[in-house]
Structure 1
Amino acid sequence: MKVEIQNAAPLQGNSTLRKGMKHAGLALFVASIMLAGMDTPVQAQNSRSKATRQPVLGHRSAKILKVGALEFKDLNKNGKLDKYEDWRLPNDVRANDLVSKMSVEEKVGFMLISTTRLQGDWSFDENPRKDVIGSGFNEVDIVRKINMFTHKPLDYPMIYAAGTTKGVTQFHLRHFIIRANTTNKIIAEWSNNLQALCESNGLGIPAIVASNPRNHITKDASIGLSVGKTGFSTWPGELGLAAMRDVKLVSEFADIARQEWAAVGIRKGYMYMADLATEPRWQRIEGTFGEDADLASEMIKAVTLGFQGQKLGAGSVAVTTKHFPGGGPVVDGQDPHFDWGKNQHYPGGMLEFHLKPFKAAIDAGTSAIMPYYSIPLDTKYEKVAFAYNKGVLQDLLRDQLGFKGIINSDTGPIYMMPWGAEHLSLTERYKKTMEAGINLYSGSADPTKLLETVKSGMVDMKLVDNSVHRLLLEKFELGLFENPYVDVAYAEKIVGSKAFQDKADLAYRKSIVLLRNESSALPLKKKTKVYFESYFQKKGTPSPSNVYTSTNHNYDIEFVNTPEEADQIVLWITPGSKTLFDSDGSALHLSLSKNAVDVDYVNKLTAKKPTILVMNYTNPWVIDEIYDDKNKKNIKGVVATFGTSTDALLDVLTGKFNPSGKMPFTTPISEEAVLKQRSDVPGYLEGPDYPLFKFDEGLRF
């Protein structure tokens, strides 16, 4: 075998790479192959036929090895073609070879995924600076001495996020979570810079960058939950996608988002939530697909296949389905990020019901699954958090459900949320979680204690090698070893494009649910004088009310400044519920008066004129304070939204778009009904005295 070494060239000067990007860019090239139902180059090379189709090689510092007419990257810079560098070989063979070459330190660093920060990103600091975010690296470690969720002292200070260069070169990190919300160009440039750093170091193993959802309107856009509205195409929230009852459009959403994510170099998603919204007070319902296991299963299958394809390939974004075995049935709605919410129970005996969406994710080939922090009650399993729970992760997830992929811990089960294992030392916690089945640890950038656990002989080295092998397979399947780089100009062109947003705008409209329409009050009649007020109490704002008074609109109605001038009032309420990370352990409520709505003001307003009440649902709100026999006589229509635009809502209200959405959950008729419900049981099974608006309810004109 004749091997020639060719000097490396910068990305922009790589002729092989330019060929793949010549016209529409590499991402479009890959997307067109996937949409045509063909294998991507990486998928083709995985077949037993060992096809020799030359893939695009993106490189900065690695030299190129030539074998006949074929080219390969010399990632470890030893001047010869190693098995892991040979794209003709099966990925399993390549992964085995690379595992054999990695030091213990490299393997341990490879088992951590931590937050990484762009230059100028200080969002995790206690008193964050407001610098302009750039595409360089933030080299400052974030050392936590206090639990960022419970605000209690940690037993051992943890490096939550390491300086990027230090993380790559000293800690051997290759898995990163990006939290920053900045321009598509900056993310793409930063991603290329990160990959170049990784390529220049050690064995040249590329990085994989993960993110929480970036394509949705969300009320609680908190770090660790959702990035919220970004430069990507913006769609309804997950509840809104479920409300559409349009699997084809959900699949299109996921495929569009996949193209946007891959274009900027984000190749792993911490999403989507297969949890069911059966405990209506839980503060994470906004990120679910509702209360029904079958509907959630359809949604999970559609988004998983949309992001990944039938199998992972060069155009895919790997999905991490969460939070196994379903975080919905938490006690009293409290979340296990906090010690006061660490228990999860099944008073209705419906654990199997909550597993359905995870089975759908596994069937669709989800790359990873993330267990939650909770301690299970009322089950046969050990009363310890799911990351520590061998019965749940091995017996149930691996053996019974047949999951073969990566088990990725949620952020911080070792240092911050070790529920049921508080008495164990840090090394004992690592031992128990590794033996339970965790392959990738989220929440710490410092490998010191995990390395101590491994080097001490507390765990079988086979567990480490097995985890590293699984993690490497994901990278090989995504084609990152051949080309982890992106075309920045193409990312700017495709991400958030009009064509993509037009599809999202259709989803906005299809997600809206018409619940009541007394005397055919909707659609609004032509020339109607409308007082349109949106009501949402935001922190730091003096008033929750915003009156829509635009004269530049395409509706055959007149917007007026006061309710007294109006023929019809439209009142769009978004309850100001306490965000997840503002929790303090006090009781959670769904009534509007307990969620920043002045019900006296609302009732006085709706008494003035016939009213269309629009409720934005992030939880199944109880609205009996404004919609009961006494107060609802003037409310002629009720509409539900789940994160949508003003234009979309007005298109429905004026009849430009006939509503077609259906409720993704049941709303309780009263707070008393909430207290009587069983946390693991969907509202539609709670009996006739429970619902105001029923699951699957929705009218058309």
Structure 2
Amino acid sequence: MDIEPRYPYENPRLPVEHRIDDLFGRMTRKDKAALIFHADISVGHVDGTDGWGRPAAGTLLRERGITHFLAQGTPRDGRDIAQWHNRLQEIALESPLRIPVTLASDPRHSATDNPLTSQAAGAFSRWPEALGIAAIGSEKTAYEFGEVVGREYRAAGIRVALHPQVDLSTEYRWARIAQTFGEDADLTTRVAVAYCQGLHGDGGAESVAAMAKHFPGGGPQKDGLDPHFSDGREQIYPGGRFDYHLAPFVALIEAGLPQVMPYYGMPVGTEWEEVGFAYNKGIITGLLRQRLGFDGVVCTDFGVITGMGETFPAKAWGVEHLTHEQRAARLIDSGVDQFGGEKDVSVLLDALSSGLLTEAQLEQPVRRLLREKFRLGLFDGARMADPERANTVIGSAAHQTLAVRAQQQSLVLLKNDASLLPLSRGIRVYAPDVDPSVFEGFATVVTDPAEADVAVLRTRTPDYADPARHFIGSMHKGSLEFRPEDQQRIQAIAGQVPTVLDVYLDRPAVLTDVLAPAAVFASFGTDDRPFVEVLFGEAGPEGSLPVDLPRSMAAVEASRTDVPFDTADPLFRFGHGLRYKSSSAEEISEAGSPASDVS
């Protein structure tokens, strides 16, 4: 959509820096303050409140001038989200300066559905988790994945991706490992750079900006607890491997990364001040800006100033004593450009009025944020989405074919005794955890393991969510060992009939007591039908473990939180993965490590 220019900054023929100068000079203090806020809102809601009782996006646009939004929720189809996005852009055009909306999204192309970390795929193509992309280990696949995500996001009007998550999963109890690329810095770097290259495309109006997280690496969480909550606020480095966790960010910045998100956690026992990373001037200005030369957008993780009520307080770790206005001022002083999940613009305006901040301190953040809007073409022809194109592109058959192939490639075959796999067609299968319809054309499903030729069990890493935290409790924590009743169930069935066990790994499970089955898979978000096709040799498993799998919880508890591959005598090593070619082929090899250094 082209609009008739009113001012020089709306003229696409002018250099971007000239356009920024012109627009910046026309902005009021409130305009500048509003640009700093990146609000979380629900897809589909325009006016009034959304399904969470929060102000809807249109309300925030009209009343507070906010133009950056994280879109949460799953649309019915591509047309819906594109039309909703366009309605927001129309409201933005009603404002005096007509600053366009920038829409962002957490990951929404895989199996996870947690409002704090990622969204259900819904209408979008459904790929394996990031950990599964790492299991494939292919830069080509990572680039292809980034291209598809970028294409579908652009069609919806989404122009900023709050990913990739390049934290290194060196603490196996941490809840957020599924969205990482594993614990090896080299593998993570290679895959993440390729993914971002696919996502960024031409770097302009046809691109999606990646916001890599969580700087300077959120993996080494004390006891595996997460800093969304006060009991998990400490990030520790007993092995002195701070720079190891920093490495993927260094490579991404060198490759042109446009945006970064620091984590909630605070470093403990290091040279750095013990405050949350977003509040940490040594980390944001000293390390990120000065040492690494990053001049892109830095957006805080969500809710570090005001939080979300009593059940979800602000993650202002180390600065809890500060007022909201003091927190806002400290964030700007630390080098941050934008406040994630915050909506109360008056907090920043009050900080300015009281002298905690000067308006001059907003100039660099505002200019960076405007530069991104101009670079992405949002002031020009890329402002509006095409709903009909969105309905065609998002979740297209071509994209879903690629996604399903990746789901299959990511499967890691850990064990295949007596070459049980691939299975032969026409057998009787007991599969209580699998949709019976997906066996059509392959096998007859029976309801009693005594009547079966093979049993197929699908389970996941043990889930010790905290029910007191409601939906936030889906952030798992605690033991990686299977409960005794689950061990007994698997062992009993495997003792009765040849059994295939598949374990969905959102954390590196301890499989020591569930290895009775003849064949064991690790998976990262493979749907039932693609999984069954692999069982019967229509496709072969091609994945290699992107993490070690520990032998015991004692080994996990004894390991150093920041050191990769540090559990004693792991059950399966990084890079392990067996292969078979087809229904008539033998198990042929164990894959080599996809990384160069696992020390």
Normalising by the residue count of structure 1, what TM-score does the alignment of the two structures yield? 0.78
Decide which of 47, 55, 59 is 1:138's aligned counterpart: 47
Question: What one-letter code is carried by the residue in structure 2 that aligns with 1:283?
Answer: A
CA positional deviation for 1:420: 0.3
| Counterpart mapping for 1:170-569 below 5 A | 170-183=63-76, 184-218=78-112, 221-309=113-201, 312-415=203-306, 416-483=314-381, 484-534=383-433, 547-550=434-437, 553-555=440-442, 557-569=443-455
Looking at both structures, which has the greater relative contact order when contacts are Cα pairs under 8 Å and sequence separation is at least 6? 2
Change (3 A) 1:651 1:255: same
Matches within 5 A, 1:105-184: 105-118=30-43, 135=44, 137-140=46-49, 161-183=54-76, 184=78
SS in 2 for 1:691: coil
Q: Per-residue displacement from partner, 1:88-146 (whole Å, max 9, x unpaired)?
A: 1221221122111100001001100102234xxxxxxxxxxxxxxxx551312899xxx
CA offsets per residue over residues 7-48 of structure 1, 9 Å max, x none?
xxxxxxxxxxxxxxxxxxxxxxxxxxxxxxxxxxxxxxxxxx
Equivalences for residues 575-586 of structure 1 within 5 A: 575-579=461-465, 582-583=472-473
Q: Name the CA distance, whole Å, in 2 between partners of 1:247 and 1:442.
A: 30
Amino acid at match of 2:296: G
The 3 A distance-change label for structure 1 pair 338 and 486 is: same
- Asked if 2 retains the 8 angstrom alpha-carbon contact of 1:324 and 1:369, the reply is yes
Contact 1:275 1:288 in 2 (8 A): yes
1:364 deviates by: 2.5
Q: Letter of the aligned partner of 1:58 in structure 2?
A: D
Contact preservation (8 Å) 2:534, 2:540 = yes
In structure 2, list runs of 5 or more residues that go unmatched. 307-313, 581-599
Among 565, 573, 591, the alignment partner of 2:481 is 591
Q: Deviations over 1:155-205 (max 9, x none)?
A: xxxxx9434333112211111111021122111111111001001111011
The answer to whether the Cα contact below 8 Å between 1:334 and 1:585 also exists between their aligned partners in 2 is: no
Q: 1:586 to 1:482 in 2, by over 3 A?
A: closer
CA distance in 2: counterparts of 1:264 and 1:648, whole angstroms = 27
Q: Quick one: distance in 2 between partners of 1:246 and 1:285? A: 19
Return the letter of the residue paired with 1:565. Answer: E
Is it true that 1:614 corresponds to 2:502 in the alignment? yes
Instruction: Say which SS state the counterpart of residue 501 (structure 1) adopts.
Output: helix
Distance 1:672 1:551 in 2: 39
Tell me what 1:25 maps to. Answer: none
Structure 1 residue 659: deviation in Å? 1.7
- Of residues 344-353 and 423-432 in structure 1, the stretch that sits farther from structure 2 once superposed is 423-432
Q: Which of 436, 448, 459 does residue 573 from structure 1 map onto?
A: 459
> Following the alignment from structure 2 to structure 1, what is the Cα–Cα distance between the partners of residues 293 and 377?
25
Contact 1:564 1:608 in 2 (8 A): yes
Cα offset, 1:554, TM superposition = 3.1
Are 2:155 and 2:394, in contact at CA under 8 Å, matched by a contact in 1?
A: yes
**Structure 1 counterpart of 2:159, one-letter code:** R
Report the residue type matching 1:574 in the other structure.
R
8 Å Cα contact 1:260-1:495 kept in structure 2: yes
Structure 1 unaligned regions, length at least 5 = 1-56, 65-72, 75-81, 119-134, 144-159, 535-546
Report the Cα offset of residue 553 of structure 1: 2.1
- For the residue of structure 2 that corresponds to 1:267, the secondary structure is strand
The amino acid of 1:347's aligned partner reads P
Counterpart of 1:172, as a letter, is: G
SS in 1 for 2:286: helix
State the distance in 2 between where 1:460 and 1:612 align: 64
Aligned to 1:58: 2
Structure exhibiting the larger radius of gyration computed from Cα positions:
1
Distance 1:259 1:646, change over 3 A: same
Distance 1:600 1:384 in 2: 45
Distance apart, 1:665 and its partner CA: 0.6
CA positional deviation for 1:667: 0.9
Distance in 2, Cα, partners of 1:108 & 1:303: 33
Amino acid at match of 2:570: P
Distance in 1, matches of 2:188 and 2:182, equals 7
Deviations along 1:532-589, whole A, 9 cap, x unmatched?
A: 232xxxxxxxxxxxx543386232x433222111122121112451448545999711
Say which of 534, 549, 554 aligns to 1:667. 549
Contact kept, 8 Å, 2:41 with 2:70, in 1: the verdict is: yes
Deviation, structure 1 residue 404? 1.2
TM-score, with structure 2 as normaliser: 0.91
Q: Show the counterpart of 1:48.
A: none
Q: Deviations over 1:455-478 (max 9, x none)?
A: 222223232011000000000000
Cα 1:579/1:96, change in 2 over 3 Å: farther
Contact (CA 8 Å) 1:510, 1:659: kept in 2 or not?
Answer: yes
For residue 560 of structure 2, what is the aligned residue in structure 1?
A: 678
Q: Which residue of 2 aligns with 1:600?
A: 488
Taking the aligned partners of 1:223 and 1:185, their CA distance within structure 2 comes to 22
2:19 is the alignment partner of 1:94: yes
Runs of 4+ in 1 over 4 A off after TM superposition: 579-587
- Distance of aligned partners of 1:101 and 1:587 in 2 relative to their CA distance in 1, 3 Å threshold: closer
CA distance in 1, matches of 2:242, 2:407: 33
Relative to structure 1, the CA distance from residue 187 to residue 273 in structure 2 (aligned partners, 3 Å threshold; closer, same or farther) is same
Q: What count of residue pairs does the alignment treat as equivalent? A: 567
- Please tell me the root mean square deviation across aligned C-alpha atoms, in Å: 2.0
Structure 2: how far apart are the matches of 1:586 and 1:316?
34
* Structure 1 counterpart of 2:444, one-letter code: E
C-alpha distance in 2 between matches for 1:606 and 1:292: 34
C-alpha separation in 2, matches of 1:341 and 1:570: 37
Deviation at 1:406, TM superposition (A): 0.4
Which moves more between the two structures, 183-192 or 357-366?
Answer: 357-366
Q: Show the counterpart of 2:533.
A: 651
CA separation of 1:363 and 1:309: change in aligned 2, threshold 3 A: farther
In the alignment, the residues of structure 2 paired with residue 551 and residue 371 of structure 1 have an alpha-carbon distance, to the nearest angstrom, of 42
2:212 is paired with a residue whose SS is strand
User: CA separation in 2, counterparts of 1:164 and 1:244?
Assistant: 38
Quote the offset at 1:353 in angstroms.
Answer: 0.6
For the residue of structure 2 that corresponds to 1:410, the secondary structure is: coil
Shift of 1:253: 1.4
